[in-house]
Chains A and B, each alone.
Chain A
Amino acid sequence: EVQLVESGGGLVQPGGSLRLSCAASGFTFSRYWMSWVRQVPGKGLEWLANIHQNASEKYYVASVEGRFTISRDNSKNSLSLQMNSLRREDTAVYYCVRDPPKFDFWGQGILVTVSS
């Protein structure tokens, strides 16, 4: 069974940093592109970043480029999102998603709250 489990969320002050992780299981992680997607509570979905199977390619949406960094460790079946210079508008539930652009499996999401 494919499982994606996010962790690392919580409350952080504006300007602060946070690192999200996603533990993958039930499939050969190294064979898939992976992504992060977020959802402001009660609002729509926003694609944030993609990473190639071997991390040779990474893509970001303009709103997070230069502040967020996607990475992966295939030996640990783990995906990460380093978030720096956080803003109030980054408050959202963050999802780990497998295999863009097919988007076939999603994690349960982790809440990040940026507030003083």
Chain B
Amino acid sequence: DVVLTQSPLSLPVTLGQPASISCRSSQSLVYTDGYTYLTWFQQRPGQSPRRLIYKVSKRDSGAPDRFSGSGSGTDFTLKISRVEAEDVGVYYCAQGAVWPYTFGQGTKLEIK
């Protein structure tokens, strides 16, 4: 199975400061259609996961523009330009290029 390794697993951030989460894959996530199916989710306490970014860098319409995704092949990054209080939660990367689909371990973002 494809292993997605996130770092850090815990991310204390001061309000208004940037934050970055890495997701590294054990193999390429480029699918046969040429797209890279790497997705980022936010899970706030007590809520379901909510998609923020898909196909590496495409931001969902409801996701604030302070969230951005980048990367290629096996190395991906989620960046938050200025952390706000509502960003507290756990962030997961996930791959949909190779069955079975798999998730990273999650990164818990908290406010310092």
B interface residues, Cβ below 8 angstroms from A: 31, 37, 39, 41, 48-51, 54-55, 60, 92, 94-97, 99-106
Residues B54 and A102 in contact, CB atoms below 8 Å apart: yes
Majority secondary structure, B binding face: loop
Picked from A101, A107, A108, the residue with its CB within 8 Å of the CB of B96 is A101
* Total CB contacts across the A-B interface at under 8 A: 58
Q: Are A59 and B54 in contact (CB under 8 A)?
A: no
Residues of B within 8 A of A104 (CB): 51, 54, 60
**Which residues on B sit within 8 Å (CB–CB) of A95?**
48-49
Cross-interface CB contact of B103 among A35, A47, A105, cutoff 8 Å: A47
Q: What's the nearest-Cβ distance from chain A to residue B21, in Å? A: 14
* A and B contact pairs by CB, cutoff 8 A, 8 listed: A47-B94, A47-B102, A59-B99, A95-B48, A101-B31, A101-B97, A102-B96, A103-B49
Whether the Cβ atoms of A103 and B94 lie closer than 8 Å is yes
Chain B residues near A105: list those with CB within 8 A: 51
Contact-size category for A? 20 to 34
* Contact partners of A35 in chain B: CB under 8 A: 101
Chain A residue contacts of B106, Cβ below 8 A: 44-45
Contact check, B48 vs A44: say whether CB atoms are below 8 A apart.
no
A67-116, CB < 8 A from B: 95, 100-109
Instruction: Indicate with 1 or 0, residue by residue over A36-75, a CB within 8 angstroms of chain B CB atoms.
Output: 0000000011110010000000010110000000000000
The answer to whether A61 touches B100, judged by C-beta atoms less than 8 angstroms apart, is yes
Q: Which of B92, B97, B99, B101 contacts A44 (CB 8 A)?
A: B92
Residues of chain B contacted by A59 (CB below 8 angstroms): 99-100
> Are B103 and A100 within 8 A (Cβ)?
no
Q: Are B105 and A44 in contact (CB under 8 A)?
A: yes
Across the interface, name the chain B residue whose C-beta is closest to A106: B48
